Amino acid sequence: NDSLMEELVGLCKRRGFIFPSSEIYGGYNGFYDYGPLGVELRNNIKNAWWRDFVQRRDDVVGLDSSIIMHPRIWKASGHVDGFSDPMVDCKESKRRYRADQLFSAPVVLDGEPCGYIAYVEGADEASIIKQAKKLRDLLDRKQSKLDEAQLLNSATEFTEVDEVVREKTLGPDAAKIGTLTAPREFKLMFETKVGPLADDSAVAYLRPETAQGIFANYKNVVDTGRVKIPFGIAQIGKAFRNEITPRNFIFRSREFEQMEIEYFIAPEADWKQLHREWLDLCIDWLVSIGLPRESITEDVHPQEKLAFYSQATTDLMFHFPHGEQELWGIACRSDYDLKQHQEHSGKSMEIFDEASKSKFVPHVIEPSLGVDRTLLAVLTAAYCEDEVPNDKGKVETRTLLKFSPRVAPYKAAVFPLLKNKPELVERAEALYKKLQRRWNVFYDASGAIGRRYRRQDEIGTPFGITIDFDTIEKDGTVTLRDRDTCEQRRVSEDELIDFLEEQIEG
Ligand code: ATP
């Protein structure tokens, strides 16, 4: 819901996770900057992915290809000719919309449709009705004989039909809406020029996906001799799309990052089975970084919506604050991309498979995930409010981010109980330094201990470690506090390290 998104945006700004880009100049639509905590969260997500899908597997290797590549790559991939979205302009507001995010609704008065209005995907009922009223006013000015009663009547009728038309995207119907232009194709690739020449031969593109860098290097990787079918090449990196309507915070931006794998398989392999296996692996991974299993669903693309070369595509959907939306696309792309590059480059993309003693151009399964969307999903799943007793035993509401220790920006925070007792401070600093050698940990000596806990709860630090008089005078144990349950127990330093290791590294 809208208010959850607002809370997240506010918290992200306030605590230094995410800032609007170029904010001192009023911001820049579709671009975001990651602050001190955001960059940690982001890196932890990327590292977890890299560890699980590259380093912990024998059959996947990594790659880091350039962002700007030879423009012929984008010709071969089909992006130069086909990578666009249908766009319409609103003649009144001069705003641009993606046609497939616009919906049309007939406004009914006296049982007769008197016009159409367009509304943006996800628009709430009240704003649609407001728009319908605007249309009524327009008709009024043209001396139509509508009165308030009719208007209310129309609003009700309108709401009734709304459910039906909400399912239909506007598409070519845009022309029916007086204030919208007919749809036209809008190119999504950012163009730039490379080298001193100013003519068309210098045109190059910022990559709109990392996948083509993998296909372009497939031969190089095969020639290193380290891989045999089936194998994958993985890449994490920035991608750029001139989205017509960047929206919903970091869900759809113009500069974002992807984590993609091309998994190369034999043409006769059981791709349906492998596709299922990849889907399950991807779901398990999302759960491992803290998304509840029940918040993930599968959207199987119907045959008629698939690109001609695609055998199957299933999107993993997540329940974002603005609704259930695509998080991870897992596609079976046949041998289309490699064959395209074989044709356009004139270089053979065949591989010799020792096992079957045969030569072929492999097929691929492509799991493609956005870093930023994952981060938004992690934030959404982690955000909650609950009620806990404060220092004085009074119940208070706290905001907390229940990050899994794997991705939490800070793994633990170390506190001396009092900051004016040098023995406590010294001991706490020593433990902090020791932990800091292995993990990103936080040190905080100022303020009431309850307030210090609260500050860490809000940024999702899973464990609080307090050094008190028992630590220095008795047995050396420290207090270990759990963020979610607020439970505290005493542990020795050795126990503490073992515990953190297990929680963070799994
Ligand atoms: P959408 O339909 O939402 O535009 P898509 O189907 O075009 O997405 P893909 O081309 O399959 O997306 O990209 C793979 C993944 O990259 C997506 O699942 C998403 O996680 C991420 N992604 C794509 N576009 C954006 C964007 N503009 N901002 C942030 N992440 C994106």
Atom 24, ligand 1: which residue's CA is nearest? 252
Does 8 reside within a domain? no
- Kindly report the three-state secondary structure assignment for every residue of 326-388: EEEEEEEEECHHHHHHHHHHCCCCCEEECCCCEEECCEEEEEEEEHHHHHHHHHHHHEEEEEE
Would strands 18-20 and 112-120 be described as parallel, antiparallel, or unpaired?
Answer: unpaired
Average model confidence (pLDDT) across the chain: 89
Let me know whether 198 and 271 are in one domain: yes
Expressed as residue numbers, the domain containing 491 is 410-505
Q: How far is the CA of 239 from the centre of ligand 1 (A)?
A: 10
The ligand 1 atom nearest the CA atom of 258: 16
Percent of the chain with pLDDT over 70: 85
Read off the CATH number of the domain in which 373 is found. 3.30.930.10
Shared domain check, 335 and 198: yes
Q: Rounded to whole angstroms, what are the CA distances from 393 to 1, 303, 388, 389, 450?
A: 33, 60, 9, 5, 11
Would you call 461 helix, strand, or coil by DSSP? coil
* C-beta contacts of 2-9 below 8 A and 24+ residues apart: 2/124, 2/321, 2/322, 4/321, 4/380, 4/383, 5/248, 5/249, 5/321, 5/322, 7/383, 7/399, 8/249, 8/321, 8/376, 8/379, 8/380, 8/383, 9/249
Q: Summarize the confidence of residues 410-436 as an average pLDDT.
A: 97
Statement to judge: residues 202 and 250 lie in one domain: yes
Q: What is the pLDDT of residue 168?
A: 56
154 or 482, higher pLDDT: 482
Whether pLDDT at 426 is above 70: yes
State whether 57 and 100 are in the same domain: no
**58 and 135 assigned to the same domain:** no
Tokens 């995907």 belong to residue: 121
Claim to verify: residue 229 and residue 261 sit in the same structural domain: yes
> At which of 140, 169, 186 does a domain end?
186
More confident: 165 or 87: 87
pLDDT in tens, 110-143: 566 666 667 776 666 666 667 666 666 666 555 4
CA of 370 to the centre of ligand 1 (A): 7
Atom 22 in ligand 1: residue holding the nearest Cα: 370
Domain boundary among 379, 399, 428: 379
Q: Is residue 454 part of a domain?
A: yes
Q: Identify whether residues 283 and 375 lie together within a single domain.
A: yes
Pick the residue with more confidence: 4 or 153? Answer: 4
CA separation for the pair 496, 504 (Å, rounded): 12
Among 163, 186, 209, the domain-final residue is: 186
Q: Whose CA is closest to atom 16 on ligand 1? A: 370
* 326 CA closest ligand 1 atom index: 18
Residue type, 266: A
Residue 404, domain member (yes or no):
no
CATH code for the domain of 445? 3.40.50.800
Residue 162 sits in the same domain as residue 220: no
pLDDT of residue 156: 46
Whether residues 364 and 221 fall in one domain: yes
Residue 143 is predicted with a pLDDT of 45
Count the alpha carbons within 13 Å of 472 in the hemisphere toward its beta carbon.
Answer: 17
Residue 23 counted as domain residue: no
Whether 490 shows a pLDDT value over 50: the answer reads yes
Amino acid 368: pLDDT? 98
pLDDT at residue 204, as a whole number: 97
pLDDT, one tens digit per residue, over 100-116 is: 777 766 666 556 666 66
In a domain, 291, yes or no: yes
Query: What total of structural domains would you count in the chain?
Result: 3
Q: Do both 212 and 262 map to the same domain?
A: yes
Strand-strand pairing, 60-63 and 231-240 = parallel
* Residue 308, domain member (yes or no): yes
pLDDT of residue 87: 86
Q: 155-164, 311-320, 322-331, 461-470: lowest mean pLDDT where?
A: 155-164
Distance, in Å, from the CA atom of 25 to the CA atom of 29, rounded to the nearest integer, reads: 11
DSSP label at residue 310: -
Q: Residue 86: what pLDDT?
A: 85
Query: For ligand 1, atom 30, which residue shows the shortest CA distance?
Result: 370
pLDDT digits (tens, 9 = 90+) for 27-40: 999 999 999 999 99
Shared domain for 230 and 173, answered yes or no, is no
**Least confident segment among 41-45, 83-87, 191-195:** 83-87
Q: How far is the CA of 317 from the centre of ligand 1 (A)?
A: 12
Nearest atom in ligand 1 to 254's CA: 27
Q: Is 5 part of any domain? A: no
Atom 28 in ligand 1: which residue has the minimum CA distance? 252
463 domain-assigned? yes
Separation of CA 387 and ligand 1 centre (Å): 37
Same domain, 172 and 226: no
pLDDT for 364: 98
**Which tens digit of pLDDT belongs to each residue from 288-347?**
999 999 999 999 999 988 988 899 999 999 999 999 999 999 999 999 999 999 999 999
**Which residue ranges have their beta carbon within 6 Å of ligand 1?**
209, 241, 243, 252-253, 256, 258, 326-329, 368-370, 372-373
Binding-site positions for substrate read: 98, 209, 256-260, 366-370
